[in-house]
Amino acid sequence: MATNPPQEQTTEPGEFESALETARRQLAHAASQLDIDSNIIERLKHPAKIHEVTVPIERDDGTVEVFTGYRAQHDSVRGPFKGGLRYHPGVTRDECVGLSMWMTWKCAVMDIPFGGAKGGIVVNPKTLSEAETERLTRRFSQEIRDVIGPNRDIPAPDMGTNAQTMAWIMDAYSMQKGETTPGVVTGKPPVVGGSYGRDEAPGRSVAIITREVCEYYDRPLDETTVAVQGFGSVGGSAARLLDEWGASVVAVSDVNGAVYEPDGLDVAAIPSHKEEPEAVTRNTDDVLSNEELLTLDVDVLIPAAIGNVITEANANDIQAEIIVEGANGPTTSGADATLTEREIPVVPDILANAGGVTVSYFEWLQDINRRAWSLEKVNEELEHEMQTAWNEVRHEVDSRDVTWRDAAYIVALSRIAEAHQSRGLWP
Ligand code: NAD
């Protein structure tokens, strides 16, 4: 069987449609199904602010290199801006804007009192030493200091950044403010105000939503086969939980390819990306390509690696009966149309992987209240929030006879529009 050449991870639409184009198209589509003041939609097409900063750092060899950083803040009608920071060579201004819009919808579908933001630095983090990464992060924090804050804009980890990056930002911000301010970022290590369960949260929400959608379509979880693309933070946690809850996880993959066992894999024995990066196929010669994984004859397919993997080229070959989006933007719009025509339900990213931002919200609550929650409480509250959001989206599916994606956008956009209507336009 074929093996995929390893590819650099690029998460969001690029080859097919930019994140901004997708976000604007999805906004227009959702708006067309709702009776919303067109002036509000016009406002939502544009970010509130885009900050572009120059970030000079001294490299280990004594030379100075200058990087470009962005922070796009889309909409804050429901609360402070919230969203990740990525370090990746492909970061662009438009990508940050598009992703910040998705964050606005994601927070709204979960009814979290945050708006949407996204930012990053145009850099390949693999080319930096740890000391250089720390200097870059601290200088970037300084450059965006005036536009972030626990009540203003709260960054979180994303591609190329992690809990350590967040700890540096929290320290840099706190030093400048003269007071320890853990609520300025989420996704920190628990020892400096991070939340238990944050790492696992997006995968846990994907598993919860998979369980719910299976129940919706009268499919007992213990009679359900699942294929998961990507065995990282999202895919790895989702696969392990679904396995624990009785589903048969028959295929998982990483950038090197997939392992497939029709009778069910021993998921717990496969090292996660964090434990041992890219080790999924290490102990087998029988490797499927990532493309082959996507078209396996399974009940549920969970693309949880990168964006734009289900395209017009393979949408007709998908054999899964249900798709749950673990990654951000894994389905192109063309593929979405084909899957709708084929009546294959696709539960969208803004609902399925929203456990990440939900536990970030819990982290922020713990930080501003100076009171840590136990892992049990985090998971219990996450379960409750996911169930509530699921019920609201399901209600729209049932009452309007729309797709799961449209239903999630309808829930989100209705809340945002109502908030804009209520607050009005200043001055
Ligand atoms: P990760 O880096 O932990 O894991 C990514 C996994 O995908 C790894 O197993 C990697 O080997 C695999 N992979 C990378 N490139 C691939 C390719 N070209 N083909 C197939 N597999 C490939 O990343 P993650 O945090 O799990 O994120 C995965 C997706 O979920 C991304 O789209 C991300 O934006 C989204 N997401 C992440 C979070 C979060 O908090 N981690 C929250 C919401 C959404």
Q: How far is the CA of 363 from the centre of ligand 1 (A)?
A: 22
Helices (H) and strands (E) in the chain, counts: 13, 11
> Atom 40, ligand 1: which residue's CA is nearest?
356
Domain of 155 in residue numbering reads as 20-27+35-42+49-183
Single out the catalytic residue among 49, 82, 106, 118.
Answer: 118
pLDDT above 70: residue 2: no
- When pLDDT is cut at 50, 70 and 90, the band that residue 102 belongs to is very high
Does 161 lie in the same domain as 121? yes
Statement: residue 407 has pLDDT above 90: yes
Asked whether residue 2 is assigned to any structural domain, the reply reads no
Using CA atoms, how far residue 130 sits from 86, 134, 159, 172, 186, in Å, is 16, 6, 16, 16, 21
Question: Which CATH number covers residue 97?
Answer: 3.40.50.10860
Last-in-domain residue among 287, 314, 347: 347
Tokens of 57: 């750092």
Structure tokens at 361: 């919200």
Torsion of CA 403, 404, 408, 409, to 10 degrees: -30
Mutation choice for ligand 1 from 255, 302, 362, CB with most ligand atoms inside 8 A: 255
Q: Which atom of ligand 1 is found nearest the CA of 273?
A: 9
Give the integer Cα–Cα distance in Å for 158 and 88.
Answer: 10
Least confident of 16-25, 144-153, 219-228, 248-257: 16-25
Measured in Å, residue 244 CA sits from the centre of ligand 1 at 21
Residue ending a domain, choose from 325, 347, 369: 347
Whether the predicted pLDDT of 4 surpasses 60: no
Residue 233, ligand 1, Cβ within 6 A: yes
Say whether 85 sits in a helix, a strand or coil: strand
Please state, rounded to an integer, the average pLDDT across all residues of the chain.
Answer: 94
Is 118 one of the catalytic residues? yes
Assigned domain for 167 exists: yes
> Is 121 in the same domain as 224?
no
Atom 32, ligand 1: residue with shortest CA distance: 327
**Residue 187 near ligand 1, beta carbon < 6 Å:** no
pLDDT band at 71 (very low <50, low <70, confident <90, very high): very high
Using a 10 angstrom Cβ sphere, with 0-12 exposed, 13-18 middle and 19 or more buried, the burial of residue 98 is buried
Same domain, 147 and 72: yes
Query: Both 91 and 61 in a single domain?
Result: yes
Is residue 414 in a domain? no
CATH of the domain at 250: 3.40.50.720
Is the pLDDT at 347 greater than 50? The verdict is yes
In this prediction, what percent of the chain has a pLDDT beyond 70? 96
Tell me, yes or no, whether 270 lies in a domain.
yes
Of 171, 164, 172, nearest in space to 188 by CA: 164
Q: How far is the CA of 52 from the centre of ligand 1 (A)?
A: 26
The predicted model scores a pTM of: 0.94
Q: How far is the CA of 307 from the centre of ligand 1 (A)?
A: 9
Domain annotation covers residue 191: no
Among 4, 9, 351, the mutation site with the greatest number of ligand 1 atoms within 8 A of its Cβ is 9
Q: Over 70: is that where the pLDDT of 10 sits?
A: no
Which pLDDT value is given to residue 25? 87
CA 400 to ligand 1 centroid distance, Å: 33
Beta-carbon contacts of 88 under 8 Å, excluding residues fewer than 6 positions away, are 10, 120, 122, 123, 124, 125, 159, 160
pLDDT at residue 19, as a whole number: 83
Let me know whether 340 and 212 are in one domain.
yes
Atom of ligand 1 nearest to the CA of 187: 40
Query: Distance between CA atoms of 78 and 92, rounded to whole angstroms?
Result: 26
Question: In this predicted structure, what is the pLDDT of residue 50?
Answer: 98
- Cα of 403 vs centre of ligand 1, distance in Å, is 25
Does residue 176 sit in the same domain as residue 314?
no
Q: Output the six-digit token pair for 413.
A: 């956009």
pLDDT at residue 275, as a whole number: 84
Strands 81-88 and 153-157, bridge-based pairing = parallel
pLDDT for residue 348 is more than 60: yes
Same domain, 104 and 214: no
Ligand 1 contact via 103 beta carbon (within 6 Å): no
Please check the confidence at residue 324 and state whether its pLDDT lies above 80.
yes
Task: Clarify whether residues 206 and 337 are in a common domain.
Answer: yes
Q: Same domain, yes or no, for 172 and 207?
A: no
Q: What is the mean pLDDT of residues 230-239?
A: 95
Q: How far is CA 289 from CA 5, 57, 303, 307, in A?
A: 9, 40, 14, 17
Ligand 1 pocket: which of 276, 306, 314, 358 to mutate (most atoms within 8 A of CB): 306
Which of 183, 214, 235 delimits the end of a domain? 183
Is the residue at 188 inside a domain?
no
Q: Is the pLDDT of residue 319 over 60?
A: yes
pLDDT tens figures, 154-175: 999 998 999 999 999 999 999 9
Residue 295 has pLDDT above 50, yes or no: yes
The predicted-structure confidence for 182-229, as pLDDT tens digits, reads as follows: 999 999 999 999 999 999 999 999 999 999 999 999 999 999 999 999
Q: What would the pLDDT profile of 12-69 be if each residue is shown by its tens digit?
A: 444 467 888 888 888 998 899 898 999 999 999 999 999 999 999 999 999 999 999 9
Structure tokens at 186: 């989420």
Lowest mean pLDDT among 157-161, 319-323, 363-367, 380-384: 157-161
Say whether both 58 and 159 belong to one domain: yes
Residue 327, domain member (yes or no): yes
DSSP 3-state of 349: helix
**Angstrom distance (rounded) from CA 248 to CA 263:** 7
Residues 206 and 125 grouped into a single domain: no
pLDDT of 335 > 80? The answer is yes
Examine residue 397 and state whether it is found in any structural domain, yes or no.
Answer: no
The DSSP secondary structure of 105-139, one letter per residue, reads HHHHHTT-S-EEEEEEEES-GGGS-HHHHHHHHHH
Specify the pairing of strand 64-75 against strand 248-254. Answer: unpaired
Please determine, for residue 424, whether its predicted confidence score (pLDDT) is greater than 50. Answer: yes
Phi/psi region, residue 374 (left: phi>0; alpha: psi -120 to 50; beta: rest), is beta
Total number of domains in the chain: 2
Same domain, 158 and 260: no
